[in-house]
Amino acid sequence: MNVWDNEFAISIMPALLKGFWLTIQITFVSFAISLAVGLLVAIVRFLKIPVVSKLFDFYVSFVRGTPLLVQAYIAFFVLPLWGMGFDALPTGIVVLGINYSAYCAEVYRSGIEQVPTGQWEASRALSLPPARTWFRIVVPQAVRPIVPVMGNYLIMMFKDSAILSSITILELMGTSLQIGGNYYMYLEPMTIAGLLYLAISFPSSLLIRRLERRLVPAY
Partner 1 sequence: MSPHTDILHTLNSPEPSSDIEISFAGVDKAWGDNHVLRGLDFEVKAGEKVSIIGPSGSGKTTILRILMTLETPDVGLVTVGGDTLWNVKPGEKARETKQTIATRRKVGMVFQQFNLFPHMTVLENVIEAPIHVLGLSKKDATERAVDLLELVGLKEHMKHTPPELSGGQQQRVAIARALAMRPRVMLFDEPTSALDPELIGEVLNVIRRLATTTDMTMLLVTHEMRFAQEISDRVVMFDKGVVVEAGPPDQIFKSPEHDRTRKFLEAVNPY
Measured from the CB atom, the residue of 79 and 137 that comes closer to partner 1 is 137
Give the residue ranges of DSSP H helices in 66-186: 68-73, 88-114, 117-125, 130-132, 139-160, 172-183
Cα separations in angstroms, 86 against 69, 78, 82, 199: 17, 11, 12, 32
DSSP secondary structure code for residue 217 in this structure:
S
Minimum distance, C-beta of residue 125 to partner 1, in the bound complex (Å): 5
Minimum distance, C-beta of residue 95 to partner 1, in the bound complex (Å): 34
Measured from the CB atom, the residue of 87 and 121 that comes closer to partner 1 is 121
- Residue 169 is which amino acid? I
Measured from the CB atom, the residue of 47 and 199 that comes closer to partner 1 is 47
Measured from the CB atom, the residue of 15 and 143 that comes closer to partner 1 is 143
Please, what sign has the CA dihedral across residues 112, 117, 121, 122?
negative
Q: Taking phi first (over 0 means left), then psi (-120 to 50 degrees means alpha), and beta for anything else, what does residue 185 get? A: beta
Measured from the CB atom, the residue of 142 and 192 that comes closer to partner 1 is 142
Measured from the CB atom, the residue of 94 and 137 that comes closer to partner 1 is 137
Minimum distance, C-beta of residue 49 to partner 1, in the bound complex (Å): 16
Q: Kindly provide the b/e burial profile for residues 73-111, where b requires at least 16 CB atoms within 10 angstroms of the residue's own CB.
A: bebbeeeeeeeeeeebbebbbbbbbbbbbbbbbbbbbeb
Minimum distance, C-beta of residue 179 to partner 1, in the bound complex (Å): 49
Minimum distance, C-beta of residue 135 to partner 1, in the bound complex (Å): 11
CA distance 27 to 37: 15
Minimum distance, C-beta of residue 143 to partner 1, in the bound complex (Å): 10
Site residues for partner 1 per CB under 8 A: 116, 118-119, 121-122, 124-129, 132, 136-137, 140-141, 144, 219
Minimum distance, C-beta of residue 128 to partner 1, in the bound complex (Å): 6
Measured from the CB atom, the residue of 51 and 125 that comes closer to partner 1 is 125
CA distance 76 to 171: 16
CA distance 25 to 21: 6
